[in-house]
Amino acid sequence: MDYTIRAANVEDCKDLKRMIMELAEYDKVSDEMTITEKDVEQDGFSKNPFFHGIIAEVPEQHRTKEGHTKIGYALYHYSYSTLGRRSVFMMELYVMPEFRGKGIGKALMSKVAQLGLAAGCTGLNFIVLDWHKSSLDFYFKQGCINATTDLGYHCMICSGEDFEHLAQP
């Protein structure tokens, strides 16, 4: 399969939003999604972006029946920990179902790792839902470990009213 991996740009916001919604549907959280194309543009392509992104794109002759050539993406940001030092955190990795199993997901993940190494990172971090058996199998094949099982770490979240309450002085 012929494809390219490249940095996402502001012209990709419509397709990024589309694929984010496809992933949300797959993750069974689409009813919670309120993200807009404008949010993607502001959060990813402003002066101080909250994320960076890369796009997997196929030539026109391989486009989807809906006409899409942008068929996968990864979003990431850099983080720091006194334990792990510099890390690249991959927030999302997605490849449209009809393009899975062709090496595109691995190429996207590899590119995030390359970008992290170039920035002086010592590791790649991400989260995955525990019921995503095929995703877990894919990540284990890449040499990843389950930090919850192997290291005892837990991913904690504080959001909504609890987050607002926590932010009160």
Whole-prediction pTM: 0.90
The closest alpha carbon to 91, from 38, 27, 48, belongs to: 27
Domains of the chain by start residue, with CATH: 4-126 (3.40.630.30)
Reduced to 3 states (helix: H, G, I; strand: E, B; else coil), residue 71 is strand
What is the pLDDT at residue 150?
85
40 contact partners, CB below 8 Å, separation of at least 6: 13, 16, 17, 20
Buried-state track 50-86, b at ≥16 Cβ within 10 A, e below 16: ebbbbbbbbeeeeeeeeeebbbbbbbbeeeeeeeeee
What is the pLDDT at residue 1?
81
From first to last of its 169 residues, the chain has per-residue pLDDT tens of 899 999 999 999 999 999 999 999 988 898 988 999 999 999 999 999 999 999 999 999 999 999 999 999 999 999 998 776 899 999 999 999 999 999 999 999 999 999 999 999 999 999 998 888 999 999 999 999 888 888 888 888 888 899 999 999 9
Is the CB of residue 77 less than 8 Å from the CB of residue 91?
yes
What is the pLDDT at residue 149?
86
What is the pLDDT at residue 102?
96
Pairing, β 124-125 against β 4-7: unpaired
Q: Which residues are the active-site residues?
A: 139
Encoding tokens for residue 65?
């029946």
What is the pLDDT at residue 84?
65
Buried-state track 24-34, b at ≥16 Cβ within 10 A, e below 16: beeeeeeeeee
* Residue with tokens 């926590």, as numbered in its chain: 166
CB atoms within 10 A of CB 90: 20
User: What are the two backbone dihedrals, phi and then psi, of residue 131, each rounded to the nearest 5 degrees?
Assistant: -90, 0
